[in-house]
Amino acid sequence: SVLSVTLFLVAINDICKNLPSSVKYILFADDCNIYCSGTQIKTTTHFLQLALDSLSKWSHKTGFCFSPAKTQCIIFNIKKNDPQPAINFMNTQLSFTNSIRILDLNTLDPIHNQGIRLAIGAFWTSPVDSILLYAGEPPLQYRRHSHILKYVTKIKNLTNHITENIIHSTLPTNILPSQNTVFENFKIISNNLDFQSQSLNKILPPLPPWLWSPKINTQLAEYCKHNTDSRIILNCFAEIMSQQYPNYTQIYTDASKSKNGVGFSVITDWENHLFKLPSSFSIYTAETHAIYQALLIISTSNPTNCHIIISNSLSALTAISNLYPKNELIQHIQKLISEINSPTCFMWVPSHIGIPVNEKADTSAYEAITSPQSIKISSSPSSEIFGTIHQKIMEEWQFFWENIPLTNKLRNTKLLVKKLNYPPGTKRKDEVTVTRAKIGHSYLTHVHLVKKEPAPICDTCNVTLNF
């Protein structure tokens, strides 16, 4: 019946209610997976055995039956010499395997497509590609590719991760696609999308929290440049530099982003450095990269000199003082600060208030986007790579859409893969009408496919009507 699936899910909802707290579970439909982690395999085996005994009691109580023959175990362990423990379930000793395929994810596609079809009100016969494009939802295949790229990219910059050797291993040539691991799929997808990730490695804080105190001057943040005369801010800046940093070498950084790309500049007393980043990078990452490059310049200069890095990115300077930053670039900046022997300070200044060198840094950052002399930098924090992954996936979807035959009605009118929005206040009935008209499938034109009847014939010319 219609309620059978819902009633089944309600009936098994408490299947893992009495499991030990150290045992976690994943339940999807009638597929149940339990797992436990720890430092000792004997301890984890004990907890898993308790969990299986609890499931066995639940089975006798509710009448649901498990299949011990289909139940398998797998061990993820750094130690290769540990013997396989004995785990019993329903009076049967379970077997161990090196790989388990939990679920064929392709079976989710029709459910996903049907849900979107109902949400936008498309007719039953509407092409799947059209309803996905109309809703702005990429096919699940591309979303899986995105998750694989993001997952492997995230763990690639963890130098001590258990899968480090597997990630950098060579892809076998005599393996079937259905047998590929997530890392092998990552390499295949990366090659198909021409995706190259150069993420910075995560590193531990260079100093304990109670010793980490970077010198960041934000006195000018007390003045709002929109309500304060720029001459007042300029006088305050000159006073701070003359009284607090009279013998400091000033280094100015700035970044710029336009439709042509992203660039940043680092200006010292002796040279103007220009850098260019991929166009998908944010202005925050560019400002942070500028500070990082300024620190690299300081690390190679005279160690007896004092330096002050002047930036108009308050968010980047605030992130540097964070004790536990998640951004890999900020982690490397903190490491550089701790390694530089000479006194190094930071100062925030508002942009476009007339500080001569700061204005020059702003102009140079804009020029760095198109200048052939700019140094190209591709390494970035993982957050920026995620944006690049999204861009690559959308480009792949766009390429797929452009190659759909023009017999698809929506393909003739919709060129870009993005969601179609209704005007505010549109009624549901009107939304459904517009949706079916744009997709080209409605009750009037395609009901004969549902009823399995011949296509309608024109009363005048006696020719089959093709919609």
Task: Provide the residue-wise pLDDT of the chain in tens; the chain has 467 residues.
Answer: 567 878 888 888 888 888 888 899 888 777 888 999 888 888 999 999 999 999 999 998 888 888 888 898 988 887 767 788 899 998 899 988 887 766 555 677 888 899 999 999 999 899 999 999 999 999 999 999 999 999 888 887 776 777 666 665 555 555 555 567 788 888 889 888 888 877 788 888 888 888 888 999 999 988 888 888 888 999 999 999 999 999 899 999 999 998 889 999 999 887 899 999 988 889 999 999 999 999 999 988 877 789 999 999 999 999 999 988 989 999 999 999 999 888 899 999 998 888 889 999 999 999 999 999 999 988 888 888 888 899 899 999 999 999 998 888 899 888 898 888 888 888 999 999 999 999 988 888 888 888 888 878 877 887 777 66
Number of CB atoms found within 10 A of residue 443's CB? 11
d(CA 411, CA 285): 37
The partner residues of 199 in beta bridges, in order of sequence, read 380
**Domains contained in the chain, CATH given:** 4-96 (no CATH), 209-378 (3.30.420.10)
Amino acid identity for residue 342 in this structure:
S
246-250 long-range contacts, CB within 8 A, separation 24+: 247/306, 248/306, 248/307, 248/308, 248/343, 248/345, 249/301, 249/305, 249/306, 249/307, 249/308, 250/307, 250/308, 250/310, 250/357
CB 142 within 8 A of CB 105: no
Output the pTM of the full model: 0.67
CB 333 within 8 A of CB 295: yes
What is the DSSP annotation of 308-351? EEEES-HHHHHHHT-SS---HHHHHHHHHHHH--S-EEEEE--S
